[in-house]
Amino acid sequence: MEKNIGEIKHLCTGCGICAGMCKHIEIYDDAFGFYRPKVKNSCVECGKCVSVCPSITPYREEDIPFCKDSRLGYDFNTGYYIACYDGYVESNRRNCASGGMCSELLISLLKYQQVDAVYCAVSNDDAHKFYVCGRLTTEEEIRRNARSAYYPIEISEALKSIRNRDEKIAIVCLPCQAKALRLAMKQDLKLRHNIKYIIGLVCGGLPGKAMVEYIAKTKKIEIDEIKKITFREKDDEIRCNNCQLKMYDEDGILKVTSRYHGESFGFAYFNKLFYSESCWVCDDVFAEYADVVFGDAWYKENIPNTLGTSICITRNAELDELICEMGENIHRVDVAKVVEAQRNVSVVGKKKHLSAGFARIYRKKGFSVSNRLEEKLGLKDKIKCQLYLLFFNYNKNLWMDYRMGNISFNTLDQKYHRSVKMKKRIHL
């Protein structure tokens, strides 16, 4: 068996857990702005980094503490659950990503002293690192750092901070990071003791930092001029599914607004121009390793609304109780309803079906892939997977050409648009 992740061909998620567990690994940014680990020459080949890597380690029930609880239900699409909910918290709704349920839970955890601190996405005024995984201890800080960060965040430094303090914490993270955290907690007593709750976010895929650079550039702005970005500020005239990206300069002046519908944010995000390669093979929609997970209630009837609604799946009885106390606008729903919310935006189809086809392609190329689905794809879907990756790699190479100065930004943008047109013509 290989002794470090540098020796294993795999699709890194950029979670940073390996570097948080081992001083012989450092993190760097690749050309798309994804975090990558570099194993130093001082590596002692203990194999710890391999054993916490979410893209190498297969899904194993023994790594998930709550799955032994016979009171929990199980669904193929969601994983284990106590109960499912949808709704919103009126006081948070306007300033949160969806219905503000996630922030409300974090506030309750601090208020009832269930935890001493919360780690989540925190805005950072560095154009090359707009978000970090930060430690928050007050309601005001939680409110200030609500909404979604469609931006890479690695948690190596957070892991060290959690280990070095004597306190109970909750951490908000994506499905791949939730899995990596569980694997790390298995090995590290201090982490196991201090991390009380893992709070997951439903994830349809993560773009690299290059996405915001590209969007700024389409508006003739250099990313270095920007000090702050937000991804889901709400507006009275804008429907909740037309998410908007906003960029501000150091004086707080709004420099860029770009939305999902008909603008470069949606163009780059939905066409997966800057998608993490690891996301193709991910089969986890609902952060199955997390104690609770939040997502958007993408029901058809919610689309005309300007304010969002959250969905939630609980897997921890204490958190379930807190969710039930969040007020009259939170309703218990059937598991099929939360699955429908993600099926409507193709996340279920991609992760719980097509990802098996992508996994097959990558395995054939010699990659170690942790996707656990049985491959039941018909010929049409197998061809679809090949075509998706063909376009993905073509667009990736265009960015590399632009980065190396071989093509201008205008040429890059024209070629992106041409390739997307072609993709649509063949109904991809």
Site residues, ligand FAD (CB under 6 A) = 92, 96-103, 106, 120-121, 145-150, 153, 172-174, 201-204, 206, 294-296, 310, 342, 345, 347
Closest CA to 371 of 359, 383, 382, 379: 359
Contact 234, 224 (CB under 8 A): no
Task: Tell how many helices (H) and how many strands (E) occur in the chain.
Answer: 16, 15
Collapsing DSSP states into helix, strand and coil, what is residue 188? Answer: coil
Provide, rounded to whole angstroms, the least separation between the CB of residue 337 and ligand FAD: 13
Q: How far is the CB of 201 from ligand FAD (least distance, A)?
A: 4
Minimum distance, C-beta of residue 414 to ligand FAD, in the bound complex (Å): 28
How far apart are CB 236 and ligand FAD at their closest, in Å? 18
Residue nearer to ligand FAD on the CB measure, 145 or 244: 145
Measured from the CB atom, the residue of 4 and 194 that comes closer to ligand FAD is 194
Query: Smaller CB distance to ligand FAD: residue 271 or 368?
Result: 271
How far, in Å, CA of 190 to CA of 193, rounded? 5
Distance CA(248)–CA(186), nearest Å, equals 41
Both tokens of residue 422? Answer: 């072609």
Quick one: CA torsion of 15, 21, 25, 29, rounded to 10 degrees?
Answer: 20
Q: Name the minimum Å distance from CB 374 to ligand FAD.
A: 23
User: E strands along 215-306, which residues?
Assistant: 228-230, 244-248, 254-259, 292-296
Least distance from ligand FAD to the Cβ atom of residue 29, Å:
16
Residue closer to ligand FAD by CB (options 120, 183) is 120
H-assigned helices in 53-155:
90-93, 101-111, 139-144
Residue number, 49 or 133, with CB nearest to ligand FAD? 133
Residue least distant from ligand FAD (Cβ) = 204
- Which amino acid does the sequence have at 414? Q
- Tell me 404's DSSP state: T
- Asked if residue 245 lies in contact with residue 212, where contact means CB atoms within 8 angstroms, the answer is yes
Q: Which is nearer to ligand FAD, 39 or 313 (CB)?
A: 313
Cβ proximity to ligand FAD, 25 vs 198, nearer residue: 198
DSSP assignment of 131-178: EEEEEE-SHHHHHHT-S---S----HHHHHHHHHS-S-EEEEE-HHHH
Of the pair 208, 295, the CB lying nearest ligand FAD is at 295
The residue among 104 and 188 lying less far from ligand FAD, judged by its C-beta, is 104
Closer by beta carbon to ligand FAD, 94 or else 363? 94
What is the sign, positive or negative, of the torsion defined by CA atoms of 189, 191, 193, 199?
negative
CB of 7 vs ligand FAD, minimal distance in Å: 29
Phi, psi of 409 (to 5 degrees): -65, -40
Q: How far is the CB of 13 from ligand FAD (least distance, A)?
A: 11
Which residues share a beta bridge with 38?
A: 26
Rounded Cα distance between 263 and 319, Å, is 38
DSSP state of 275: B
254-259/73-75 β-pairing:
unpaired
Q: Which structure tokens are listed for 259?
A: 């939305």
As measured in angstroms, the least distance from the Cβ of 306 to ligand FAD is 14
